[in-house]
C-alpha cells in the first residue's frame, strides 16, 4: 500500500498566543485593514455546511488527483458522477457569518484556497445590504487560488463553461442515473470538493468539450496539479504589497497556501493564524488564535 505523507503528522494545536482582543488591537491600531492580506481555507466554510479535510472530526478522505482523473475514462465517469450528484447541494450553500464579517472589511485582498465561491457571494450580500451608497468602500479583491467549482474548463484548449450549463447537459445525458443508484441529489451530504460518496458510477456518461472534443474538468486545482502562473502572480502581488498576513481557517497542509506564510515570515511581516486545529505554519505565527473564525472576524469587523 502506498504511504501517503501526512503534512500535519506529529502536530498538536498550540495554545493561543494572546487573547483575541489583543490580536485585534494589533490588527486595527497598528495597521489599517487595507494593509492586511488574508489567506482563507476550508475552516472558513464549515459553518456553511461544507466540510473541511483536516478538522478534528473530519473522516479521512482520498480526493481525486489529476493523475487519477487523466488515467482512465472510468475514473472520469466516477469523478463526474459524484460531482454531478453533489452540485445541487453545493450550489445552494450560503456564506456564513465569517464570510459576511470579512466582506465588511476592506482588506488588501482575500487569497482563498476554497473553491466554493462564498467570499464572492458574501461580497454581493454586503453590497446589496449597503444599497447604492456612493461612499461605500470597494469590496476586497478575491483570488481563488485553487479555482472555482462554478466553472468547467476544457483541458485541450482552455474553453470555459458555466457549471450550471454542464450540469444540465449531464442531466440530459444521464436521465435515469439518480434513480438507478437510489439517491436524491438534493438530499445528500456534501463532501469537501462538492462531490458525494458514491461507489456505483459505472455507466455515467460524461460530457466532452462542445467546442473541440477535449476533456472537461471542473476549473479547480486537483491534488497533484499546480496553480496557474497568472493566478499565483496576482496572489503574490497582494501578499507582497501587504504589511502582514492573516490566515483564517486553514491547516496550511497544502504548500501553495503555506508559501504565503513562509514568505511573510521571511520578510519579517507579522503573521496571524486563526484556526482551531494545528497548522503547518504555527512556528511562523507571531499571533495565534484558536477561536472559531466567525467569532474572530466578527470581533475584528465590529471593533
Ligand atoms: N470550502 C471549500 O472550498 C473546501 C473545502 C475543503 C477542502 N478544500 C480544498 O482542500 C484544501 C484544504 O486545505 P485547507 O487548509 O483549506 O483546509 P483543511 O481542511 O486542511 O484545514 C481546515 C482547518 O480549519 C479548522 N477549522 C474548521 N472549521 C473552523 C472554524 N469554524 N473556525 C476555525 N477553524 C476551523 C480545522 O480544524 C482545520 O485545522 C484546500 O486547498 C482547498 O482547495 C476546499
Ligand atoms: Zn475545448
Query: pLDDT digit string (tens) for 174-231?
Result: 999 888 877 776 666 666 666 666 677 778 999 999 999 999 999 999 888 899 999 9
When the pLDDT of each residue in the chain is averaged and rounded to a whole number, the result is 91
Query: pLDDT digit string (tens) for 34-87?
Result: 999 999 999 999 999 998 887 666 666 677 788 999 999 999 999 999 899 989
Q: SS3 of 88, please?
A: helix
- Report which bound ligand comes closest to the CA of 297: 1
Whether pLDDT at 233 is above 80: yes
pLDDT on residue 57: 65
**Distance from residue 34's CA to the centre of ligand 2 (Å):** 39
Q: Residue 63: what are its φ and ψ, rounded to 5°?
A: -65, 155
* Cell numbers describing residue 26: 494589533
Whether pLDDT at 2 is above 60: no
Mutate to test the pocket of ligand 1, among 7, 14, 39, 43 (most ligand atoms within 8 A of CB): 43
**Distance from residue 253's CA to the centre of ligand 1 (Å):** 9
- Determine which of 6-15, 162-171, 196-205, 285-294 has the lowest per-residue pLDDT on average: 196-205
Which letter does DSSP use for residue 29 in this model? I
Query: What is 20-51+63-301's CATH topology?
Result: Rossmann fold (3.40.50)
Distance between CA atoms of residues 267 and 244, nearest Å: 9
Q: Could you tell me how many helices (H) and strands (E) the chain has, helices first?
A: 10, 9
pLDDT on residue 95: 98
Contacts of 76 (CB under 8 A, 6+ apart): 69, 206, 215
Helix (H) or strand (E) segment spanning residue 130: helix 118-130
Our answer to whether residue 18 is catalytic in this structure is no
Closest CA to 105 of 125, 126, 124: 126
* Cell numbers describing residue 51: 466540510
Contacts of 252 (CB under 8 A, 6+ apart): 41, 258, 261, 273, 279, 280, 281
Q: How many CB atoms lie within 10 A of CB 168?
A: 11
Query: pLDDT digit string (tens) for 73-125?
Result: 999 999 999 899 989 989 999 999 999 999 999 999 999 999 999 999 999 99
Q: Where are any strands of DSSP class E within 32-84?
A: 36-40
Amino acid at each position: 500500500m502506498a504511504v501517503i505523507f501526512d503534512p500535519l503528522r506529529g502536530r498538536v494545536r498550540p495554545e493561543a498566543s494572546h487573547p483575541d482582543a489583543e490580536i485585534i488591537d494589533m490588527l486595527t491600531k497598528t495597521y489599517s485593514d487595507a494593509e492586511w492580506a488574508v489567506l482563507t481555507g476550508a475552516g472558513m466554510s464549515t459553518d456553511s455546511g461544507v466540510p473541511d479535510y483536516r478538522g478534528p472530526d473530519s473522516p479521512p478522505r482520498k480526493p481525486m488527483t489529476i493523475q487519477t482523473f487523466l488515467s482512465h475514462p472510468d475514473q472520469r465517469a466516477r469523478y463526474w458522477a459524484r460531482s454531478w450528484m453533489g452540485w445541487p447541494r453545493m450550489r445552494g450553500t450560503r456564506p456564513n457569518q465569517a464570510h459576511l464579517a470579512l466582506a465588511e472589511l476592506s482588506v488588501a485582498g482575500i487569497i482563498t484556497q476554497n473553491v466554493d465561491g462564498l467570499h464572492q457571494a458574501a461580497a454581493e450580500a454586503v453590497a446589496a445590504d449597503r444599497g447604492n451608497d456612493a461612499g461605500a468602500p470597494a469590496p476586497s479583491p478575491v483570488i481563488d487560488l485553487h479555482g472555482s467549482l462554478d466553472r468547467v474548463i476544457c483541458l485541450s484548449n482552455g474553453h470555459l463553461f458555466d457549471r450550471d450549463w454542464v450540469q444540465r447537459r449531464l442531466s440530459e445525458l444521464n436521465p435515469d442515473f439518480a434513480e438507478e443508484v437510489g439517491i436524491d441529489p438534493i438530499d445528500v451530504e456534501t463532501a469537501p470538493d462538492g462531490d458525494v460518496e458514491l461507489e456505483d458510477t459505472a455507466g455515467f456518461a460524461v460530457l466532452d468539450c462542445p467546442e473541440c472534443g477535449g476533456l472537461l474538468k471542473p476549473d479547480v486545482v486537483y491534488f497533484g496539479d499546480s496553480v496557474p502562473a497568472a493566478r499565483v502572480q496576482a496572489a503574490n502581488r497582494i501578499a507582497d504589497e501587504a504589511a502582514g498576513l492573516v490566515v483564517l481557517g486553514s491547516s496550511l497542509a497544502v504548500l501553495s497556501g503555506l508559501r504565503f506564510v513562509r514568505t511573510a515570515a521571511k520578510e519579517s511581516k507579522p503573521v496571524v493564524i486563526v484556526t482551531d486545529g494545528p497548522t503547518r505554519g504555527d512556528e511562523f505565527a507571531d499571533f495565534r488564535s484558536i477561536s472559531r473564525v466567525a467569532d474572530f472576524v466578527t470581533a475584528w469587523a465590529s471593533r
